[in-house]
Amino acid sequence: MADFQTIARPYAQAVFKLAREQGRLAEWSEMLQFLGQVAADEQMQTLLASPRFSGQQLEALFLDICGDRLDDAGRNLLRLLAENRRLIALPDMVRQYESLRATEEGTLKARLISAHPVEDKVRADLAQALGKRLQRKVELESEIDESLLGGAVIRAGDLVIDGSVRGRLKRLASSLNR
C-alpha cells in the first residue's frame, strides 16, 4: 500500500483542530476509525485507486457503507475527500489524527506482545511503569504471539523493548557471529 502521509497531514490537522474546538475528540476518533477501516479494505483500495470511478460515485459508496455512523460534519469531510480524490489517504489520516489526539491528551497506546496470556495485574504494573518512564498515560493492549517462545515485547511509539526469548536468542547468535 502506498504511503499517503503527506497528503493526509493537512486533513488530519484540520479535523483535529475542529474536533478540539468542538470538544469532540472521541466522537471524531470513532468516525475516522470507521472511515479508515472502510478505506483500508483491500478491495476498497483498488476502487479508490481506479480512475474509472468518480468522486461522487466513491462518496455514494462510502455513504452506503457508513450510513448513520457519520454526522453532518463527517459527511462533509467525506464529500471533501471524495471531491479531491483523497479517500485513499484515509488510513494515514486516521493514524495522524490519533497521534495528535494522543499528544493532546497525554496518552500513548502501547502493545504488549507475549508468548502467553499476561495477568491483568502484571499488565497494569507494566502500563504504570512504562507511563512513568515515558511521562504519559499508557494504554496497554495485549497480543499473543507463540513464536516468541517466552517473555514479551513492548512497542510504544518508536520505543521497542524486546524481552522475548526469541529476541535474546537472536542477540546471542549475533554476538557469537562477531
Strand positions, DSSP E, the chain: 107-114, 137-144, 152-156, 159-162
What local confidence, expressed as pLDDT, does residue 2 receive? 58
**How do beta strands 137-144 and 107-114 pair?**
parallel
Q: Which one-letter amino acid corresponds to residue 4? A: F
Chain position carrying cell 494504554: 139
pTM over 0.75: no
What is Dmax (Cα atoms) for the chain? 61
Query: Which of 144, 147, 149, 47 is closest to 90 using CA atoms?
Result: 47
What local confidence, expressed as pLDDT, does residue 78 receive? 95
What local confidence, expressed as pLDDT, does residue 106 receive? 85
Tens digit of pLDDT per residue, the chain (178 long)?
457 889 999 999 999 999 999 999 999 999 999 999 999 999 999 999 999 999 999 999 999 999 889 999 999 999 999 999 999 999 999 999 998 998 898 888 889 999 889 899 999 998 999 888 888 888 888 999 888 888 888 988 778 888 888 788 888 888 888 7
